Amino acid sequence: MKIEYTVTGKTVEEAYKKAVELYSSYGEIAMEEIISRGKKGFLGVFGAVPAEIRISVDDGKEERKPQPKKDKKPQSQPQPQQSTAKARLVERPQQQKKKAEKPQPKPQEKPVQAQEQKVAQAAPKAQPKEKPQSEPIKDEDIKVTAAEKQIVIGFLNSFVAGLGLNCEIKGDLTEDGDGYVSRIVTIEGENASVLIGHHGETLDSIQYLANLCLARKSEGDHKEYVKVIVDIENYRAKREQTLRSLARKMSEKAIRQQRSVHLEPMNPYERRIVHSEVQKIPGVTTHSIGYDENRKIVISLEKK
């Protein structure tokens, strides 16, 4: 069943990122409409208007259709009552005979209309057709051209030069048969590791700024979404291996101690890695708690 939510943020990109963090654990997220792109306002404060988007979350459950109401049994027509009990006792046979000879009034003939009303009440109301929902964009479906990737490389060159770092930006611009190139851009150099930060927080911020620059300057169909991956010293692959190892270790701890285990706060990408790894382990399950930057995963015992 698909449920719609409205999410706000300073920009459309920030609103979508917030929606992923809040609702990704409930199912697949699809952006339905950009209600407002927002305004910065004077000095970023006065007259600022937040961006607003409408998303839908599909939890995979079927929507229950309303059951038709059962028809009430027709009430029996009230029988004509005699005036008093005394009149029934005093009534003579001749009066009873006359009474029997009196023609009884014919019931009103409306069986067809009554049946039509019953059928109309029993039949469920036709529900309006839902608009076709746009499918969520998967990570492997996102493509990038050589021109778009060159925008990111130029931004990162100016970024590291402004920081005074002697780093080199590398990215293969060889196109495939469909005119797309690899999404990965690497930063190499002696001081490149300082751009990683605690658990990759600085690297994620640099990647966000690079793709924000790309979204502003490109004219792609899905320019709100992240297109290019920024990596330093193969940190992304190493971090993924660390998270999968942590997920297995904490799952074993939850089973051994027969209690739930809380992990540290993570971004949506890292939480997705942990969820997928724990699903392979029998006896435990995962869910997320908290909001925004404090959202974290809880590994708990699977209910029998």
166 vs 160: CA distance, rounded Å: 7
Give the model's pLDDT for residue 268.
87
158: phi > 0 → left, psi -120 to 50 → alpha, else beta; which?
Answer: alpha
Which range, of 14-23, 131-140, 209-218, averages the lowest pLDDT?
Answer: 131-140
User: HSE-up of 60 (CA within 13 Å, CB side)?
Assistant: 5
CB 213 within 8 A of CB 228: no
Give the end-to-end CA distance of the chain in Å, rounded to a whole number.
25
Cβ atoms of 20 and 31 closer than 8 Å: no
DSSP 8-class letter at 141: G
Residue 186's pLDDT is 95
Tell me if 249 sits within 8 A of 299, measured CB to CB. no
The confidence score (pLDDT) of residue 39 equals 76
pLDDT band at 169 (very low <50, low <70, confident <90, very high): very high
| pTM (two decimals) | 0.50
Of 220, 271, 254, 194, whose CA–CA distance to 24 is shortest? 271
CATH numbers and ranges of domains, the chain: 1-60 (3.30.1660), 138-233 (3.30.300.20), 238-301 (3.30.1370.50)
Count the alpha carbons within 13 Å of 7 in the hemisphere toward its beta carbon.
27
- Among residues 197, 183, 187, 196, the alpha carbon closest in space to that of 225 is found at 183
Distance CA 243, CA 260 (A): 18
Q: What is the mean pLDDT of residues 129-152?
A: 69
What confidence tier does 303 reach under pLDDT thresholds 50, 70, 90?
confident
Reduced to 3 states (helix: H, G, I; strand: E, B; else coil), residue 184 is: strand
SS3 for 29?
Answer: strand
Tokens (6 digits) for 234: 């193969």
67-124 residue pLDDT tens:
655 555 555 555 545 444 444 444 454 555 455 555 555 545 444 455 555 544 554 5
In percent, the amount of the chain with pLDDT more than 70 equals 68
- pLDDT tens per residue, range 170-192: 998 888 888 899 999 999 988 89
Q: Are 58 and 30 in contact (CB under 8 A)?
A: yes
Query: Percent of the chain beyond pLDDT 90?
Result: 33
Residue 171's identity, in one-letter code, is: G
CA separation for the pair 99, 96 (Å, rounded): 5
- How long a stretch of residues is the chain? 304
